[in-house]
Amino acid sequence: MLLAFAGMQVSAQDLTHYKRVIKELASAKYQGRGYAKNGANKAGIFLEKEYQKAGVDGVTLQPFKLDINTFPGKMDVSVMFNGQCSMVNEKKLRPGIDFSMREYSPGIHGEFPVYHVDTLNFDADRMFADLQKPEYANALVACEFWFTYRHKEAFSRLQKAGECNNAGLIYTWPAPIKFFKAYGHRVVEKPILWVTPEAIEGVLRLRADVDNQFLKDYECFNVIAKIEGQRHDSCYVFTAHYDHLGNLGDKIFYAGANDNASGTACIVTLAAYYAKHKPQYDMYFLSFSGEDANLRGSEFFANNPIVPLSQIKYLFNIDMIGDNNPVQYCECSEEGMRGYQLLEQINSEKKYFTSLHRGDLAANSDHYPFATRHVPCIFLENEKGDAFQYYHTIYDTYKTVKFDSYEPVFRLVTDFIEKY
Tell me: the pLDDT tens digits for 294-313? 999 999 999 999 999 999 99
Task: Judge whether 263 lies within some domain.
Answer: yes
**CATH number of the domain that residue 180 is part of:** 3.50.30.30
Task: Judge whether 6 lies within some domain.
Answer: no
Domain-terminating residue out of 181, 210, 239: 210
How many separate helices (H) and strands (E) can be counted in the chain? 11, 18
**CATH number of the domain that residue 395 is part of:** 3.40.630.10
Task: Decide the pairing of beta strands 58-70 and 213-227.
Answer: antiparallel
The gap between the terminal CA atoms of the chain, to the nearest Å, is 29
Give 246-314 as a DSSP string.
-EETTTEE---IIIIIIHHHHHHHHHHHHHHS--SEEEEEEEES-STTTSHHHHHHHHS-SS-GGGEEE
Q: Prior bond to 317 cis, omega within 30?
A: no
Task: Judge whether 158 lies within some domain.
Answer: yes
Supply φ then ψ for residue 274, to 5 degrees. -80, -20
CB of 320 closer than 8 Å to CB of 260: yes
CA torsion through residues 332, 14, 411, 271, sign: positive
Q: How confident is the model at residue 6 (pLDDT cuts 50, 70, 90)?
A: very low
Task: Decide the pairing of beta strands 281-288 and 213-227.
Answer: antiparallel
Residues 6+ apart with CB under 8 A from 368: 295, 298, 361, 362
Residues 6+ apart with CB under 8 A from 380: 316, 317, 318, 319, 321, 328, 329, 330, 409, 413
Residues 162 and 276 in one domain: no
Domain-terminating residue out of 168, 192, 210: 210
Task: Judge whether 234 lies within some domain.
Answer: yes
- What is the reported pLDDT for 180? 96
- What is the reported pLDDT for 57? 97
Residues 228 and 354 in one domain: yes
Residues 166 and 288 in one domain: no
Domain-terminating residue out of 210, 244, 276: 210
343 membership: H or E segment, kind and range = helix 337-350
d(CA 259, CA 315): 19
Task: Judge whether 2 lies within some domain.
Answer: no
Task: Judge whether 251 lies within some domain.
Answer: yes
CB of 164 closer than 8 Å to CB of 128: yes
- pTM value surpassing 0.85: yes
Residue range(s) defining the domain that contains residue 101: 75-210
100 membership: H or E segment, kind and range = strand 99-101
- What is the reported pLDDT for 5? 42
Residues 52 and 201 in one domain: no
Chain centre to alpha carbon of residue 126? 38
- Reply yes or no on whether the pLDDT at 110 is more than 60: yes
Q: Please write the tens of the pLDDT for every residue from 92-108.
A: 999 999 999 999 999 99
**Residue among 44, 69, 70, 72 nearest 59 (CA):** 44
Assign 7 to helix, strand or coil: coil
Mean predicted confidence (pLDDT) in 71-100:
85
Residues 6+ apart with CB under 8 A from 313: 234, 235, 236, 281, 376, 420
Residues 86 and 46 in one domain: no
Task: Judge whether 101 lies within some domain.
Answer: yes
Residues 267 and 349 in one domain: yes
Q: Please write the tens of the pLDDT for every residue from 149-183.
A: 999 999 999 998 888 899 999 999 999 999 999 99
- What is the reported pLDDT for 102? 97
